[in-house]
Amino acid sequence: MNYEELKQYKLKFANLSEEEKMQHDEYLRDLATGKIQGPMTGYPSVDKPALAYYNFDKYKEKTPKETITRALFANNADHTEDTAIEYFGTKISYGDLFKHIVELVKTLDANGVKKGDGIIATLPGIPEAMYSLYAAGYIGATCVFMLPYLNKESMISDINKDHSRILIIMDVLYDQYKDVYDEVKEKSSLERIIVVPTLNSSKLGKIKKGKKFPDTTTYNDFIKEGKDNPAPSMCAYEKDMPAAVVYSSGTTGDIKGVLLSHDSINNSALSYLPFGFDLKRGQKFYQTIPVWTSTGLVANGTSPLFYGSILHQDPRFDPLTFSKNIGSSKSNWGIGTTELFNGLDELSRKKLFRLLLSTHVLDYTKLTNAYVGGTLSTPNDKAKLNKLFASIGSPAIVNSSYGTCENGSIVTAELNDLPHYDYSVGIPIPGATVIAIDKDEHELPYFERGELAVSTNCGMLRYYNRPDLKDVFYTDETDGVKYKHTGDIGYVRDDGFVIYEGRANDVSVVDGVQIYNFDVKKAILKDPDIFDCEVFMHDDKLCAHIVLKREIDDMEAKFFQIQRDVMNTLNDDVYVPELFKIRKSFPMAKSTKRDYKALKEEENGYIYIPKNRYARKRNCDII
């Protein structure tokens, strides 16, 4: 079936009733599972063979018509004694969580915050972050999780968008960015800055007092302002009602606010169980990814709480702390970038770490779910982490996940009992469809490379305060389904698995020819001596940054071999790097993704190995 035939096929089913569409989906599901025999269309938007892997009976296509706050209260009303949050040795029950949310609601109400307003929260994964989200949801306000390193102009513009008057910020972040926020306050609608001591919700907070700042109010003093007021009525659910703003990572362009609705946040949770995620009461999630990203807020926050799980929170954000805390908290779930999980590698070489393992102070046997995402996870990355997990007693194997803040965090993921392919990021979750498209926004058939586009009921309403970016969405001309451009390159297999290859803007121009850098990277990573690699232009030459698995005596010979192997794999000398840099590791950005900006600004340590430009014509080795 070609694209024109696909259009006709879709038009045929465009006007079906809801019942008829369900019957058609069931027919496609039976085809995918082999229950009945028949031809597939060859296009993922129609076939959706990944449905074969879902527990279809558990999947609810539509949101429960509840706000995120009402869903939290209703789902956990009979379990108020269960632990909701662990924070530096303190356990906060669901009953206490409800109480803290209502306390904040009463104070926000006393300060005139109403439905449709915004409150600003510059908070990492601490209890007050979750109180702020659900208190805003209770009122019908939007909780804008503003990351602290956003530029001042964007801060001012986003704060003024909904005339936000209150900023709730953690003390160490205010201390670090005080001059920025003080200037922002002068030029925006902000009227009050509420400072949260880092250990405010921990018993340790009574021992270590937080730093006080002039012209600010501490969180506990702020809460007292609504103490004697009655709680207002909880806001009623409305379709597409804004709930929160998170921010894109900024690694591939300007940082942008992403507006999530109550529907998108609840739909994420509703998709996870039928997908196969082990979400239930008593499961423990380690939440360290900052909540100003959708992974930190939704995948590691609202979704576990929706099901009565436990959040183990720690705002310290570095690979060693991340890796150690998964063991000290005995968490069942660890979600992060490869760079975060690589902290296990450094820890495993320390004698104290082994002692803590042997005495069970650190216990990784409960870690059964480990998901890496955010950057390309190579087969080498996964093999290394799987070996590390086995060595520390964890039964987990590394699974990839794929998503963007714009699409509500997780769009696809791998599961332990499903096939694993190189550079696969798994299958789409229920409610999400992933396709590859060409430059004309036409869907491509299975195995054909293009830009990945996503349709999901977990995604953003729009970019926050950026009406100029509406073209990020497009609507399929035949069935009216709305898709979002991702800027990622990949393809969809005929069994529903999505292969992610890299960013569309990860390109170089060599001898007037535009190439994808990730094609060179993948060719280099086939070398058994190379653990990791990044490729881009430096001083008008294609450069390969390389992390080795072992010491190599004759590096010049290794560089020649790499050039030869790249030529033999890609069959064009424009892909052959001429600059090389050997390194121990790659820098990590504040977003926990790889810091490509820092890499590209490095000036020293390069080795120049010129390539033979006649190799293709002579059909001989590059030497």
User: Is the pLDDT reported for residue 14 higher than 90?
Assistant: no
Which is more confident, 53 or 517? 517
The beta strand positions in 100-199, using DSSP E, are: 118-122, 142-144, 166-170, 192-196
User: Is the pLDDT reported for residue 40 higher than 90?
Assistant: no
Which is more confident, 62 or 371? 371
User: Is the pLDDT reported for residue 58 higher than 90?
Assistant: no
Q: What average pLDDT score do residues 525-550 get?
A: 93
> What are φ and ψ of residue 447, in 5° steps?
70, 5
3-state secondary structure of 245: strand
User: Is the pLDDT reported for residue 62 higher than 70?
Assistant: no
User: Is the pLDDT reported for residue 621 higher than 50?
Assistant: no
Quickly count: other Cβ atoms within 10 Å of residue 467's Cβ: 7
The CATH number of the domain covering residues in 66-80+90-236: 3.40.50.12780
Considering only the C-alpha atoms of the chain, give the largest distance between any 2 of them, rounded to a whole number of Å.
86
Q: What is the pLDDT of residues 171-200, one digit of tens each?
A: 999 999 999 999 999 999 999 999 999 999
User: Is the pLDDT reported for residue 623 higher than 50?
Assistant: no
* Pairing relationship of beta strands 118-122 and 166-170 according to DSSP bridges: parallel
User: Is the pLDDT reported for residue 590 higher than 90?
Assistant: no
Which is more confident, 119 or 280? 119
pLDDT band at 27 (very low <50, low <70, confident <90, very high): confident
Q: Which amino acid is at 136?
A: A
Q: What is the pLDDT of residues 394-410, one digit of tens each?
A: 999 999 999 888 998 89
pLDDT band at 64 (very low <50, low <70, confident <90, very high): low
Q: Are 67 and 237 in contact (CB under 8 A)?
A: yes
User: Is the pLDDT reported for residue 613 higher than 70?
Assistant: no
Query: Average per-residue pLDDT in the chain?
Result: 91
Give span(s): CATH 3.30.300.30, the chain.
506-618
3-state secondary structure of 513: strand
Residue 585: what pLDDT? 87
Residue 619: what pLDDT? 42
Looking at the chain, the whole-number percentage of residues with pLDDT higher than 90 is 71
Residue 204: what pLDDT? 84
Q: pTM of whole model > 0.95?
A: no
User: Is the pLDDT reported for residue 591 higher than 80?
Assistant: no
Measured CA angle at 326 (ends 323, 328), to 5 deg: 110
Give span(s): CATH 3.40.50.12780, the chain.
66-80+90-236
Q: Are 323 and 317 in contact (CB under 8 A)?
A: no
Residue 318: what pLDDT? 86
Q: Kindly state the tokens that stand for 232.
A: 């207002």
Q: Are 556 and 610 in contact (CB under 8 A)?
A: no
User: Is the pLDDT reported for residue 371 higher than 70?
Assistant: yes
The CATH number of the domain covering residues in 506-618: 3.30.300.30
User: Is the pLDDT reported for residue 311 higher than 50?
Assistant: yes
Among candidate residues 537, 610, 549, 611, the one with its CA nearest the CA of residue 582: 549
Looking at the chain, the whole-number percentage of residues with pLDDT higher than 70 is 96
Q: What is the pLDDT of residues 210-257, one digit of tens each?
A: 778 999 999 999 999 999 999 999 999 999 999 999 999 776 568 999
Q: What is the pLDDT of residues 143-175, one digit of tens each?
A: 999 999 999 999 999 999 999 999 999 999 999
Q: What is the pLDDT of residues 463-477, one digit of tens each?
A: 999 999 989 999 998
User: Is the pLDDT reported for residue 617 higher than 60?
Assistant: no
